[in-house]
Amino acid sequence: MSILVVAATIEEIKPSLSFLKEKRIPYLITGVGMVATTYALATHLQRHKVDLLVHVGIGGALDSSAPLGEVYQIYTDEIFGLGAEDNGTFLSIEELGFGKRVYTEKLPINIQLPNIQKARGITVNSVHGSEASILRLHQQYQKPLIESMEGAAAFFVAEQQNICCLQFRSVSNYIEPRNRNAWEIGLAIKNLNDFLQHLLRLIN
């Protein structure tokens, strides 16, 4: 099975680079955001045969009781806010009849994955950082919910190419007014890469 590890930034998988080289597992750094991820993945898949995308990164958790550094399997991811405002209400892209905003993982057959918590994802262009917008998230979504800037794009490309795709994210921060002093990026990256290497030993 041909596996491609995908991350937005090199820093998110830097602790695993020597491991990936040793195991001869290729990786792709897409850049940050949905547009960059979609372009980089689509271009790569035109040139290389891939059976499974393993998309990894850090993200923000809506639930402030979630342990920082916890790794989640993102089983479904939504392009947040894709639609139109209509005099105080929101019309989703589905209601407008122009597409869809929610995409899901596609599991490989006959592979046993590590047993970790699962969460919904939302993929945003602007990370939430105000009391008002965060309150709306709490009203609209059940926990656990993980926010990223790329997840749904990876699921979208995988669906278009009809290939398997898994997404895993570790919690580096809470979805709250921006407070860099409260972030645990180092811990999140360490735990993410420990998990990634464990996962790849199981499935490769």
Q: What is the pLDDT of residues 127-166, one digit of tens each?
A: 999 999 999 999 999 999 999 999 999 999 999 999 999 9
- What is the pLDDT at residue 17? 98
Closest to 183 in 3D by CA, of 88, 39, 63, 58: 58
User: What's the whole-number mean pLDDT along residues 55-70?
Assistant: 96
pLDDT surpassing 90 at residue 97: yes
User: What's the whole-number mean pLDDT along residues 1-27?
Assistant: 97
User: What's the whole-number mean pLDDT along residues 83-100?
Assistant: 94
Residue-wise pLDDT tens digits, 8-18: 999 999 999 99
Contact 2, 46 (CB under 8 A): no
- In the structure, what pLDDT confidence band is assigned to residue 204 with cuts at 50, 70 and 90? confident
User: What's the whole-number mean pLDDT along residues 177-203?
Assistant: 95
pLDDT surpassing 90 at residue 52: yes
Domain coordinates of the chain in residue numbers?
A: 3-203
Rounded Cα distance between 127 and 173, Å, is 11
Exposed e or buried b per residue across 108-145, where buried means at least 16 C-beta atoms within 10 angstroms of its C-beta: eeeeeeeeeeebbbbbbeeebeeeeebeebeeeeeebb
pLDDT surpassing 90 at residue 110: no
pLDDT-above-70 percentage for the chain = 100
User: What's the whole-number mean pLDDT along residues 80-103?
Assistant: 95
Q: Is 203 exposed, middle or buried (0-12, 13-18, 19+ CB in 10 A)?
A: middle
- What is the pLDDT at residue 64? 92
pLDDT surpassing 90 at residue 112: no
Give me the residues paired with residue 59 across strands. 171
Q: Which amino acid makes up residue 129?
A: G
CATH class, 3-203 region: alpha beta
- What is the pLDDT at residue 86? 94
- What is the pLDDT at residue 73? 98
For the chain, the average pLDDT equals 96
Rounded Cα distance between 179 and 74, Å, is 24
pLDDT-above-90 percentage for the chain = 95
Side-chain half-sphere CA neighbours of 60 within 13 A = 22
